[in-house]
Amino acid sequence: MPVSKTFYIETFGCQMNAHDSEKVIGTLEHEGYTQVSDETEAGLILYNTCSIRDKAEQKVFHRLNEYKRMQGEGKKFAVIGCVAQQEGERIFERAPYVSIVAGSASYRNLPSMLSRLEAGESRITGLDDRQTDETFDTEFTARSNPHRGYITIIEGCDKFCAYCVVPYTRGKERSRTSASVLVEARRMADQGFTDIQLLGQNVNSWRDPSGKLSFAELLSAVGNITGIKRVRFTTSHPRDFTRDIVEAIDATPALCDHIHLPVQSGSSAVLAAMSREYTRDWYLERMSWIHGAKRDISITSDMIVGFPGETDADFEETITLLGAVRYDAVFAFKFSPRPNTPAVTMIDSIPEELKTERLRILNDRQREIQREHYARHLGQQVEVMVESYNSARGQVVGRSSQNKTVNFTITPGEIQPPIGSYLPVHITRTMPNCLVGEAVEGAVPFLATASMQPQPFVVLN
């Protein structure tokens, strides 16, 4: 039966995955496929998967079982992304109705995989793993947001932290040239994008293959493109975090005052067991550079509790680190053993209840810190990029340069600022997770020209 050239895609996982899907969508559209929002109408169903922690992976198999119900309707299925790379051909055994299994390091071969699918092949694999030096560069990226867009500057990972699947699912580290990144960023600025997020599993491990720019210089170069108002980068690794990154932020207004620098643990012993290749003090030295910046740079982190062998004293060091750094947000996870990783062979010595208890203590402490720390914004005037409207509360919802959610009201009768516009907001209240305020009276929202299509203006209140 010929493949109906309609597709439905569902995406799980990180921003890299979200952006990969934008590129996959663009590629499929270029190959003559049309995206549909209802899976029942699709000839091809793609499932872009994540395997970072237990639950994420279980979701895949749960969804695959649901797929089963749609068998016999002439549909084709593709499992792509991290679970695809991790499970490989086993997916065909568990779900024989799947036709394509492809990891992200193989997406550049998608057009040929689609041709094979159309020719009737039923078991097509793209499992390049760590073989390739190529990145998935495509001009056919279907960006879902016309104001804020991702650019992948480095793919894969060579760090091999003991707990992490990424080096096995995303292949080896491969950087794009500064020229190709800057061409893409300039094209986006011309299209009206004002906010660019540079992506990489270890974004600051980026090395210019053409040897022209350092990572900090690339940040500045993107930040100096006319029309670009905000540049973020994620995720940074402490091992490759250099002082000139902080200096670049201080010197370049468009670089956001936000650094996500996951520490994972506050204990040097646990960091060593995790193969993170830095100590608590080494990390704190990087924090002192950021704290010493001229700008108020928000710092966020990821943490893992219950790594094999983590003692009460180790955990206590993670808690004291929270106080020493005063993070603006922390994403904390219970350790979950992942296939293929070194940590899977370590004895998962921390009982589930203790992991849960440590996670609770960490989150409670961090919430207290955020409650105090966010109060510094009270009375400040903060520039906000508008993201959505909460009509039930009569509020506009946006994001600050520090990546904080800001809920604000506008003076009754004034025009609602369009999505993607920027305007100054006076902060009147602070919460542990967001800021609340009022648009500065009479301020005219700034909206980039190329995206200044007619907006649905609605008057609030």
Binding site for ligand SF4 (CB under 6 A): 13-14, 16-17, 50-52, 81-82, 165-166, 169-170
User: Quick one: what does residue 163 bind among ligand 5AD, ligand SF4, none, with the CB cut-off 5 to 8 Å set by partner type?
Assistant: ligand 5AD
In the DSSP assignment, the letter for residue 255 is: B
- Interacting residue with ligand 5AD among 335, 389, 408, 422 (CB under 6 A): 335
User: Quick one: what does residue 156 bind among ligand 5AD, ligand SF4, none, with the CB cut-off 5 to 8 Å set by partner type?
Assistant: none
CB of 84 to ligand 5AD, least distance (A): 18
Under rule CB under 6 A, residue 53 binds ligand 5AD: yes
Here the contacts of 250-253 (C-beta below 8 Å, separation 24 or greater) are: 250/293, 250/294, 250/295, 251/220, 252/219, 252/220, 252/223, 252/224, 253/223
User: Quick one: what does residue 234 bind among ligand 5AD, ligand SF4, none, with the CB cut-off 5 to 8 Å set by partner type?
Assistant: none
Return the biggest CA–CA distance within the chain: 65
User: Quick one: what does residue 117 bind among ligand SF4, ligand 5AD, none, with the CB cut-off 5 to 8 Å set by partner type?
Assistant: none
d(Cα 38, Cα 163) in Å, to the nearest integer? 36
d(Cα 132, Cα 134) in Å, to the nearest integer? 6
Q: Which stretch binds ligand 5AD (CB under 6 A): 63-71, 101-109, 246-254, 330-338?
A: 330-338
Q: CB under 8 Å to 180, separation ≥6 — which residues?
A: 137
Distances (CA, A) of 282 to 54, 257, 285: 30, 22, 5
User: Quick one: what does residue 220 bind among ligand 5AD, ligand SF4, none, with the CB cut-off 5 to 8 Å set by partner type?
Assistant: none
3-state secondary structure of 416: coil
Nearest by Cα to 383 from 276, 161, 176, 229: 229
155 or 310, CB closer to ligand SF4?
Answer: 155
Would you tell me how many other CB atoms lie within 10 Å of the CB of residue 243? 13
CB of 54 to ligand 5AD, least distance (A): 8
Ordered alpha helix ranges (H), 170-242: 178-190, 215-223
272, burial (CB in 10 Å: exposed 0-12, middle 13-18, buried 19+):
middle
One-letter amino acid identity for 5? K
Q: Degrees (nearest 5) of the Cα angle 321, 323, 329? A: 90
3-state secondary structure of 19: helix
CB of 240 to ligand SF4, least distance (A): 18
155 or 257, CB closer to ligand SF4?
Answer: 155
User: Quick one: what does residue 333 bind among ligand SF4, ligand 5AD, none, with the CB cut-off 5 to 8 Å set by partner type?
Assistant: ligand 5AD
217 or 348, CB closer to ligand 5AD?
Answer: 348
User: Quick one: what does residue 17 bind among ligand SF4, ligand 5AD, none, with the CB cut-off 5 to 8 Å set by partner type?
Assistant: ligand SF4
Q: Which stretch binds ligand 5AD (CB under 6 A): 71-79, 91-99, 219-227, 331-339?
A: 331-339
Under rule CB under 6 A, residue 217 binds ligand 5AD: no
Which positions from 261 to 290 touch ligand 5AD by CB under 6 A, shown as an x/- string? -x-x--------------------------
Helix (H) or strand (E) holding 37: none
User: Quick one: what does residue 262 bind among ligand 5AD, ligand SF4, none, with the CB cut-off 5 to 8 Å set by partner type?
Assistant: ligand 5AD
Q: Can you list the positions of beta strands (E) in 246-373?
A: 258-260, 298-305, 329-334
262 or 418, CB closer to ligand 5AD?
Answer: 262
d(Cα 341, Cα 162) in Å, to the nearest integer? 6
80 or 246, CB closer to ligand SF4?
Answer: 80
3-state secondary structure of 425: strand
19 or 377, CB closer to ligand 5AD?
Answer: 19
Nearest by Cα to 107 from 21, 30, 44: 21
Using the CB atoms, write b or e for 77-100: b if 16+ within 10 Å: bbbbbbbbbbbeeebbeebeebbb
CB of 13 to ligand SF4, least distance (A): 3
14 or 181, CB closer to ligand SF4?
Answer: 14
CB of 104 to ligand SF4, least distance (A): 8
- Interacting residue with ligand 5AD among 61, 97, 333, 446 (CB under 6 A): 333
79 or 419, CB closer to ligand SF4?
Answer: 79
Under rule CB under 6 A, residue 157 binds ligand 5AD: no
CB of 1 to ligand 5AD, least distance (A): 40
45 or 166, CB closer to ligand 5AD?
Answer: 166
User: Quick one: what does residue 202 bind among ligand 5AD, ligand SF4, none, with the CB cut-off 5 to 8 Å set by partner type?
Assistant: none
Q: How many residues does the chain have?
A: 461
Site residues (vs ligand 5AD, CB under 6 A): 52-53, 163-164, 262, 264, 302, 304, 333, 335-336, 338
